[in-house]
Structure 1
Amino acid sequence: MTRVAALAILFLVLIQPNHPQAMTWGALAVFPLELPVIVAALLAFGPGRAGIALRILLVAAIWTIAVLKLADFATFTAFNRGFNLVVDYHLLPAAWMLAQGSLGGFLSWLALVAIVLGLGALGWLLWWATGVLARVQMPKPARVLAGALVPVTAIVAVAEIGAARGAWTLPQELRPPGAAFTARVGLERVEHAIVARRDLARFVTASQNDPMVQIEPGLERLGTRDMVLIFVESYGRSSHENPLYAPTHRATLRRAEAKIGQAGLAIRSGWARAPMVGGQSWLTHGSVASGLWLDTQSRYRALLASPRRTLFHFAAQAGRRTVAIMPAHVLPWPEGRYFGFDAIYNADDLGYRGQPFNWVTMPDQFTLTAFERLEQSRPDRAPLVAQIALVSSHAPWVPVPQLLPWDALGDGRIFDPWALSGDPPEVVWRDHDRVRDQFRQATDYSLETVGDWAARQGDTAPLIVVMGDHEPARFVSGVDGFDVPLHVIGPPDLLALFDGLGWVQGMLPDPATPSLAMDALRDLLLTRLSTDAAP
C-alpha cells in the first residue's frame, strides 16, 4: 500500500492543473508522462548516495513547478494570465495588503500559516514518496533494465512536449497516451523569464526616445480650464455587456447623461484598452501618464528609472498645477515624485475621519469633495491637470455607500452607518453570486457619483476624462478582453477637439467602436489640446 500511496502522490502532483478551467474531474484521466521517467530513475539509482542526490533534484524541481502552477492558478483567476517569476514577484506583498484590508489581520495570518504549512507538507510528501520508490528491493539486472527505460520514457515525454508546443506533428498512432504537462510548465516558465528580460531591454530603449519632447506641447486650447483624469476602479466593458450588470449601470449612465446635458456640458464616449485585468491599477495610471505600455511591474520599475516625461511633466511645463488624488494610498508613495506632480494627496491627506469600507479607505463622493476643497477652491491658483483614482468599486465591494447631499459630507463620519453595515467580506465571498451582486452595486455607486459630480461643475467645468482602470477578475466580469469605457465630458468647444475619433455622443459607447490603447492617450490629449502639436 505504501508504494501505491507514493505513486498516487506523484501522480496527483504531476497532473495538477495551473488554470481554473482545467480544474475538473477530467484532469484525473490524463496520464503524466513524467511519472514513468521518475519511477524508472528512482528504481535504477536505488537508496544510495546517487539515489539521494537524484531525490533532492527531483523533489526540488517537482515542488518548484507545483508552486508555480499554484501561482499560475491564482494569476489566471485574478489577471487572466500566467505567473512570471521575473515580473510578478511584487504580487505577493500586494496580495498580502489586500488580504489584510479585506479579511482582517487574524484571518490573513491564519491563511498565510496554512499556505506555508501546506507547501511544507507537499515537500515532505514528495520526499517520502520518492524515498519509498527508491528503496524498492530489486536485483541488479532489474535496476539496469530500469536505467535503460529512463531514456526511452524520457523520449516519449519529450515527443509529447514538442507536439503540444507545435515544434513538430506526430501521427495519431504515435501520439503518447498522456501529457508531460508539469515538465512543459517548467520549460515554459524558463522561456517566459528569458522573453521578459529581452522585452524589458526593448522597453528601456523605447522609454528614452520620446517624440513629444521635440514638439513641446503647451495645452493652449484648454485656456484657463482645468483637466481632470478620473479612474473608476474595476469599471470595464462588462458593465455594458454582462446582463448581470448592464441594466443597472447603463440606466445610471443614462441618468448621468441627462444631468450633464442639463448643465450645458457635452459628452463623448469610446473604449480604451487596459494593459491588464483584475488589479494593478498603477499600470494603467502609468500607461496613460507616460505613453508607454506598462503590462508588468518590471516595465513600471524601468519607467521610474527612465528620463521619460509624463503628461504631468508637460502640463507643469505649460504653467499648470499638477496634482494626484490617491485615496487608496495608506503608505507613502515615493514613486509619485517621478510622475511630475506638484502635490500628491494620499488617504491621510484628504481629511476623511469616517470609518473605512474594509479595504476601501473612503467613499468616492468624499474623495471628489476633498479635491474641490483642497485644490479647486484655492484662490489665485494656476489651471489644474489632476489625476483622481477612485476606489469605492474596488474589491471586496462591501459595504456600499450611498450618494448623499454634497454639502452634508463634513469630515466623512456621516458615512459611518453604511461603513458598519452588512456582512463582512469573509461571509460575502463564500458565495460568488453575492460577490458579483456586490460588484454591481459598488460600481453603480461610483458611476452615479462621478456623473453627479460632473453635472455640478457649472460654468467653470473642467475637461473631465473618465475611464475604467481595468476589468475585475474574470469570474466577476464574465467577459473576455481588456477594454474599459472612456468618457470625455466638458464644454462643447473643448469636446469638438475630439471629433474624428469615432467616439459617440453621450455616456453609452458604441460596442463596435475600436478601442484605443491606454499608452496612446497621453499623446492624444497633448496633441488635441495644444496648438503646436495639433494632429
Structure 2
Amino acid sequence: MSQDTSTRQLETEAPKDDVPAAPTSGPRRSFPRPWTGWAARVRRWREAHPTAAQGLSVSVTVLAAALVVAALVMPNSVVRLGPAKFVRIPAEAVIGAAVMLALPRRPRVVTAAVSGVALAAMTVLNALDMGFNQYLGRPFNVVLDWSLFGDAESYLEDSLGRTATLAAVAGVIAAVLLLCVLLALAMVRLSNLLARHSGTATRGTLIAGVVWITCTSLGLQVSGVPVAADSTATALKTQARRISATLRDEAAFEKVARVDAFGNTPGSQLVPDLRGKDMVFTFIESYGRSAIEDPIMAPGVDQTLDARTKALAKAGFHARSGWLTSATYGGSSWLGHSTTMSGLWISNQQRYRTVMASDHLSLTDAFRKTGAFDTVGVMPGVQKAWPEQKWYGLDKVYNAFQLGYRGPKFSWSTMPDQYALQQYQDRVHSKRPADGKARMSLLILTSSHQPWAPIPKMVGWDQLGDGSVFKGIQAAGNDPADVIADTTKSRQEYGKSIQYSVTALTQWLQRYGSKDTVLVFLGDHQPIARVSGNHASRDVPVSIVAKDPKVLDKIAGWGWTDGLRPAHNAPVWKMSAFRDRFLTAYGSTPHPKKG
C-alpha cells in the first residue's frame, strides 16, 4: 500500500472535528415505546398457552357481540323487559355489518368507535325512559327534563344522606362512561373480526338479512315477541318525533295560555257566592286514586276517610268528593298544582314556565282580584326562592324556614303536616286580616311524599311546640333505604302516610274550623308506578268540605259523592277543568280574554 493511499484512508476514517465521536464506554440510554413490555408479555403468554388464549379471545368476542346486540334490542320500559326481548335479530346489526365490510381499515375503525358511543347514548336514553315511565308515568323528554336531575339529587340526599347520594351520582357517571368505552371497544373488535374473515362475514350478513326479512314478512314471534327487531332505529325515530312535538307544543301552548274565559272578568264578578268565607285550598302530596282502591292500601285509607267523615259530621261539617285526572304522575307536583289553579293542562316543564311568565288568571289570584280577600300560602316543601308567588297572587308565603320548626326532617318532608297546620293556625288562621277582609289560603302538605319513611305520627295538638316532640318518632321510624327497596312495604307505608295527612288536615278543620270555613283538598298526582301499578290511572280524589249547606248546594249538580271518599263511579274530570267549574259554580261571570 502506497503512502498516499494509506494517508487518504486514514483521513477518511478519522472523525471530523465538528462531529463528536460516539462514546466508547458508559451506560447506554434506552427509550422503549409505550406498552412494548406489556405487549411482549401478552405475546409470550399467548405463545405459551395457545389454547387458553384462543378460548379467551373467543369469549371476549362473544361478550362483545352479546353487549352490542343487548344494547340494540333493549326496550325502554320495565314492563317489557324479559328474556325473549334479547333473543332477536336486530336490523341495525345486519346493516352495520354490511357497512363495516365495505369500509377501508381506518374509516372502519373510526365509524365503529363512533357508532359504539352513539349506541351507548341510545342505551342511556332507553334507561332514562324506563326510569321516567316507572316514576313519572311518561318517557324522558330530551329537551325539557334535564333540569329534573337536580331535583332527583336533592330527593336522594334528603332520603338517603349526602354520602350515599354522592356515591350514587359517581356510580351513575362511571357506569355511563364505562358503557361508552365498552360499546366502542366492542364495535371496533367486531368490525376487525368481520374484516379478517370478510368472505364468511359477507355470506353471514346476507343470510342474516334474508332471515330478518323473512321473519318480518311472516310475523314470526317467540313468546309473543317478534324475532325481527329494529328497536334502536324505532327509538331514534321516537326521540326525533318527541323533540319535534315538544318544540311545536311550546309555540302552540303560548297561544292557548293567552286565552282565558275569566281573563277580563272584573273582581266584583268573581266568586261572589264565597264572599266572607274562610277559604282553604290544600294539596296532599301523592294522594291518588290507588290509595282508595288498591287492595293493599285501600282498607286502611278507606277506614280513615270514613272515620274522619263521621268525625267532621259531628262537628257540623259535610263533604262531597269526586275525581280529577292529574296532568302529572309520580312526581313533579308543581304541574298538578298549577294545572288545578290555572285551568290549563300543564303537563311539562316548558308549559309550566310559560304559564308562570304569563298573566293567565290563577284560582288563588281570582280571590285576590276581588279585593275582598287577603291571600297567603303555607308551603313547608319550598326551601329556596319561589318567584311563582307572583303568578299565584299570594300576598304572603311561609316557606320551610319561616315556620319555626326545630324538629327532625322526615326524609324529603321538612316537617310533619300536623306541625305545618298548627303553624298555619297560629301565624295566619287565628288572626283576622286587619282590613276586615276574608282570607284565601293555599297549603301544600308534604308528609306523604316518597319514600314514605319514616312517617310522622299524630301527637297532642297542644304538645307540638317547636317540633322537637317528633325526634323520638323520627328515630323510631323506618329506614328509607329499607322501604325503597321493598315494593310491598312501599305500598303499605304509602297508605299509612295518606292516612296520617288526611287525619292531620281533618283534625285541624274539626278543631279550628268555623261556620265560614270552606276546605277544598285534593291530591296532586298518583304515587310512583311501583306503588300504584304500571297501568294505574292518573286520577286523584278531590273534596269540598263546609259547614254552610249553601256551599255544597252550589255543587249539587256535579254528581259528587257525599263524604270524603269518592265512589268508584263518581264523575272524573280533567284537572284543568276544575278552575272554571269552580268559578262558575260560585257565581263568577265569564269575560273572555282572547289573547
Match of 2:545 in 1: 489
> Aligned-pair RMSD on alpha carbons?
2.6
Deviation for aligned residue 1:211: 1.8
Is residue 11 from structure 1 mapped to residue 61 from structure 2 by the alignment? no
Letter in 1 for 2:187: T
Match of 2:82 in 1: 24
Deviation for aligned residue 1:4: 2.1
Unaligned runs of 5+ in 2: 1-57
Deviation for aligned residue 1:26: 2.4
Secondary structure (helix, strand or coil) at the match of 2:410 reads coil
Say whether the 8 Å CA contact 1:37–1:154 is kept in structure 2: no
Between the aligned partners of 2:588 and 2:182, the Cα distance in structure 1 is 69
Which of 353, 359, 378 does residue 431 from structure 2 map onto? 378
Between the aligned partners of 1:461 and 1:454, the Cα distance in structure 2 is 11
Which of 274, 293, 318 does residue 326 from structure 2 map onto? 274
Match of 1:347 in 2: 400
Match of 2:341 in 1: 289
Q: Structure 2 vs 1, CA of residues 363 and 137 (structure 1 numbering), >3 Å: closer, same or farther?
A: closer
Which of 379, 402, 405 does residue 460 from structure 2 map onto? 405
From the CA coordinates, give the structure whose radius of gyration is larger.
Answer: 2
Say whether the 8 Å CA contact 1:41–1:147 is kept in structure 2: no
Q: Structure 2 vs 1, CA of residues 137 and 99 (structure 1 numbering), >3 Å: closer, same or farther?
A: closer
Which of 272, 276, 296 does residue 220 from structure 1 map onto? 272
Which of 70, 88, 92 does residue 145 from structure 2 map onto? 88
Q: Structure 2 vs 1, CA of residues 137 and 373 (structure 1 numbering), >3 Å: closer, same or farther?
A: closer
Say whether the 8 Å CA contact 1:220–1:529 is kept in structure 2: yes
Say whether the 8 Å CA contact 1:253–1:451 is kept in structure 2: no
Which of 240, 243, 248 does residue 300 from structure 2 map onto? 248
Which of 557, 567, 570 does residue 513 from structure 1 map onto? 570
Letter in 2 for 1:463: V
- How big is each residue's C-alpha offset from its partner over 1:497-535, in whole Å with a ceiling of 9 and x where there is no partner? 11101102111211112211111111122222235459x
Match of 2:100 in 1: 42
Deviation for aligned residue 1:312: 2.3
Letter in 2 for 1:517: K
Q: Structure 2 vs 1, CA of residues 31 and 531 (structure 1 numbering), >3 Å: closer, same or farther?
A: closer
Say whether the 8 Å CA contact 1:364–1:390 is kept in structure 2: yes
Between the aligned partners of 2:392 and 2:513, the Cα distance in structure 1 is 30
Deviation for aligned residue 1:47: 2.7
Which of 286, 303, 312 does residue 355 from structure 2 map onto? 303
Say whether the 8 Å CA contact 1:267–1:495 is kept in structure 2: yes
Which of 573, 576, 580 does residue 523 from structure 1 map onto? 580
Deviation for aligned residue 1:464: 0.6
Between the aligned partners of 1:141 and 1:439, the Cα distance in structure 2 is 59
Match of 2:157 in 1: 100
Is residue 435 from structure 1 mapped to residue 490 from structure 2 by the alignment? yes
Secondary structure (helix, strand or coil) at the match of 1:89 reads helix
Deviation for aligned residue 1:295: 0.7
Deviation for aligned residue 1:466: 0.9
Between the aligned partners of 2:191 and 2:513, the Cα distance in structure 1 is 79
Alignment coverage as a number of residue pairs: 523
Match of 1:190 in 2: 240
Is residue 231 from structure 1 mapped to residue 283 from structure 2 by the alignment? yes
Say whether the 8 Å CA contact 1:86–1:193 is kept in structure 2: yes
Between the aligned partners of 2:123 and 2:466, the Cα distance in structure 1 is 49
Match of 1:114 in 2: 171
Q: Structure 2 vs 1, CA of residues 474 and 327 (structure 1 numbering), >3 Å: closer, same or farther?
A: same
Say whether the 8 Å CA contact 1:232–1:390 is kept in structure 2: yes
Deviation for aligned residue 1:110: 0.5
Match of 1:199 in 2: 249
- How big is each residue's C-alpha offset from its partner over 1:269-309, in whole Å with a ceiling of 9 and x where there is no partner? 11111012100110011011111101111110111222212
**Higher deviation after alignment, 271-280 or 519-528:** 519-528
Say whether the 8 Å CA contact 1:42–1:51 is kept in structure 2: yes
Q: Structure 2 vs 1, CA of residues 43 and 532 (structure 1 numbering), >3 Å: closer, same or farther?
A: closer
Say whether the 8 Å CA contact 1:291–1:520 is kept in structure 2: yes
Deviation for aligned residue 1:147: 12
Match of 1:359 in 2: 412
Say whether the 8 Å CA contact 2:88–2:226 is kept in structure 1: no
Say whether the 8 Å CA contact 1:269–1:487 is kept in structure 2: yes
Say whether the 8 Å CA contact 1:46–1:135 is kept in structure 2: no
Letter in 2 for 1:285: H
Deviation for aligned residue 1:27: 2.1
Q: Structure 2 vs 1, CA of residues 407 and 154 (structure 1 numbering), >3 Å: closer, same or farther?
A: farther
Deviation for aligned residue 1:143: 10
Letter in 2 for 1:89: W
Secondary structure (helix, strand or coil) at the match of 1:386 reads strand
Q: Structure 2 vs 1, CA of residues 139 and 305 (structure 1 numbering), >3 Å: closer, same or farther?
A: same
Between the aligned partners of 1:220 and 1:139, the Cα distance in structure 2 is 84
- How big is each residue's C-alpha offset from its partner over 1:179-221, in whole Å with a ceiling of 9 and x where there is no partner? 1112211110110111111112111101111121233342221
Q: Structure 2 vs 1, CA of residues 244 and 444 (structure 1 numbering), >3 Å: closer, same or farther?
A: same
Between the aligned partners of 1:481 and 1:128, the Cα distance in structure 2 is 44
Letter in 2 for 1:32: P
Between the aligned partners of 1:5 and 1:339, the Cα distance in structure 2 is 56
Is residue 124 from structure 1 mapped to residue 185 from structure 2 by the alignment? no
**For residues 329-348 of structure 1, what are the structure 2 equivalents within 5 Å?**
329-348=382-401
Between the aligned partners of 2:226 and 2:540, the Cα distance in structure 1 is 43
Secondary structure (helix, strand or coil) at the match of 1:239 reads helix
Secondary structure (helix, strand or coil) at the match of 1:369 reads helix
Say whether the 8 Å CA contact 2:526–2:540 is kept in structure 1: yes
Unaligned runs of 5+ in 1: 164-169
TM-score (norm 1): 0.92
- How big is each residue's C-alpha offset from its partner over 1:296-336, in whole Å with a ceiling of 9 and x where there is no partner? 11110111222212112221111211122111112221232
Secondary structure (helix, strand or coil) at the match of 1:278 reads coil
Say whether the 8 Å CA contact 1:46–1:134 is kept in structure 2: no
Between the aligned partners of 1:156 and 1:303, the Cα distance in structure 2 is 49
- How big is each residue's C-alpha offset from its partner over 1:24-81, in whole Å with a ceiling of 9 and x where there is no partner? 2222223322112222322332431x22342244123211111100100100110122
TM-score (norm 2): 0.83
Match of 1:167 in 2: none
Letter in 2 for 1:322: T
Which of 480, 492, 509 does residue 536 from structure 2 map onto? 480
**Higher deviation after alignment, 524-533 or 180-189:** 524-533
Deviation for aligned residue 1:259: 1.2
Secondary structure (helix, strand or coil) at the match of 1:228 reads strand
Secondary structure (helix, strand or coil) at the match of 1:224 reads coil
Which of 443, 462, 467 does residue 388 from structure 1 map onto? 443
Between the aligned partners of 1:19 and 1:176, the Cα distance in structure 2 is 16
Say whether the 8 Å CA contact 2:286–2:523 is kept in structure 1: yes
Deviation for aligned residue 1:489: 0.1
Q: Calculate percent identity across the aligned residue pairs.
A: 30
Match of 2:42 in 1: none
Q: Structure 2 vs 1, CA of residues 148 and 409 (structure 1 numbering), >3 Å: closer, same or farther?
A: closer
**Higher deviation after alignment, 487-496 or 518-527:** 518-527
